[in-house]
Amino acid sequence: MSSNNSRRRDVTVADVAKAANVSKAQAARALGNYGAVSDDVRERVLAAAEELSYRPNELARSMNTGKSHTIGVVVGDIENPHFGLATRGITDTAKKSGYNVILVNTDEEQAAEVDAVQILLDKRVDGLIVAPASSTETEHLQSVYESGRPLVLLDRAANGLAAETVAVNTAGISYESTVHLLDSGHRRIAFISTLKSDSPFKAETQVDSSQISERLDGMFRAFSDKGLAFPHDLVRLNAGDADSIQKITRELLRMPDPATVVVASDGLIALSVLGAIQDLGLSIPEDVSFLMYDDFAWTRLTTPPLTVIAQPVYEMGVAAANALLRQIQGRKASGTAPAFEARLIHRGSVGPAKVLSNS
């Protein structure tokens, strides 16, 4: 009722102490439950705190404990359900241990990521979970790591950075699924990724993401194991917004020797690719086969349901958070990190390749 004065002042330990007729030190002890406090004093202090509805200022507390009970999470795009789910795993786990999460989106921009890391450090987060936009430009992460601040990488590794990394064994599943496509008779396999790149993909291109590079390696290996040449012309990067993805898809499917399968690197890309295929009036898998990373519920609802590479995204979020919390609490890694495996789930979107010309 008496609170429309502009300068709101919070109740502090000093206020509680005064109300309880004890020194600030005693009040702090009673509230913080440490040191020696007589029953009498404790009661008076707690009663006064209750009465004034005292709440400790976590900022002040963080200042001299050096612990903020907050972790920073830096991801490319929270709108992408892949990260949405991982974030859920992280926040759930963090919350259980009394930690909060500051979430920063980078739009997969390197500069934004560097900023984000800096700002989070300035806010004195207790640790960082980062899904690095680049696996090569990693000075900012390197310096975090060297400073000894807890750091866990999610989804992608960073070259030459020994930080704990939670990711799936991508090369393996990529190899396996490519073999499956090859066995189905496909040779013109297209791969579309959001990854930013200055120039179109060529045989000697070094991609800037461990995740994508592993996927490509798996594909290379599958082709070369069968003595086949890898179709470099069908790897498309820079698939940013819906429009560019649709454009890319049209190109891939209308070129002289078109792709017979499209592999979408994530769920967002998949949606645009499928839209484009629909617009072109093509049907899956008769006209073109389709494979995507991540198993979202909607992939079971299309006609046909989609063949996907399922990744334990939520569990990886949980694991990343646990690893970070362990580091924060100074505990050593408990044995070996669990390896996360992706699974190829056969549904109906991969069919035999159309037999047109077999050179």
Partner DNA sequence: CCCCCATGTGAGCCCGGTCTCAACCCTAGC
Partner DNA sequence: GCTAGGGTTGAGACCGGGCTCACATGGGGG
Among 19, 31, 144, 273, binds DNA (CB under 7 A): 31
b/e string for 164-193 if b means 16 or more Cβ within 10 A?
bbbbbebbebbbebbbbbbeeebbbbbbbb
Sign of the torsion angle spanned by Cα atoms 350, 288, 200, 265: negative
Those residues whose C-beta lies under 8 Å from the C-beta of residue 174, and which sit 6 or more positions away, are: 214, 215, 216, 217, 218, 219, 222
Those residues whose C-beta lies under 8 Å from the C-beta of residue 222, and which sit 6 or more positions away, are: 174, 175, 178, 179, 182
Partner touching 79 among DNA, a second copy, none, CB below 5 to 8 Å by kind: a second copy
Among 50, 51, 57, 243, binds DNA (CB under 7 A): 57
Q: Which of residues 64-123 bind DNA (CB under 7 A)?
A: 64-65
Shortest distance (Å) from residue 343 CB to a second copy = 19
Partner touching 243 among DNA, a second copy, none, CB below 5 to 8 Å by kind: none
254: burial class by Cβ within 10 Å (0-12, 13-18, 19+)? exposed
Partner touching 35 among DNA, a second copy, none, CB below 5 to 8 Å by kind: DNA
Only segment of 21-29, 68-76, 159-167, 317-325 that touches DNA (CB under 7 A): 21-29
The β-bridge relationship of strands 261-264 and 189-192 is parallel
Closest CA to 183 of 172, 175, 171: 175
Closest CA to 125 of 60, 71, 63: 71
**How far is residue 229 from each of residues 113, 315, 333, measured CA to CA in Å?**
37, 36, 42
Q: Which is nearer to DNA, 32 or 200 (CB)?
A: 32
Only segment of 60-68, 107-115, 216-224, 338-346 that touches DNA (CB under 7 A): 60-68
Among 10, 43, 50, 279, binds DNA (CB under 7 A): 10
Number of residues forming the site for DNA (CB under 7 A): 32
Q: Which is nearer to a second copy, 119 or 344 (CB)?
A: 119
Site membership for DNA, residue 48 (CB under 7 A): no
Q: Which is nearer to a second copy, 79 or 225 (CB)?
A: 79
Shortest distance (Å) from residue 270 CB to a second copy = 9
The β-bridge relationship of strands 307-310 and 343-345 is antiparallel
Q: Which is nearer to DNA, 4 or 34 (CB)?
A: 34
Chain residues binding DNA by CB under 7 A are 9-14, 22-26, 28-29, 31-32, 34-41, 54-57, 60-61, 63-65
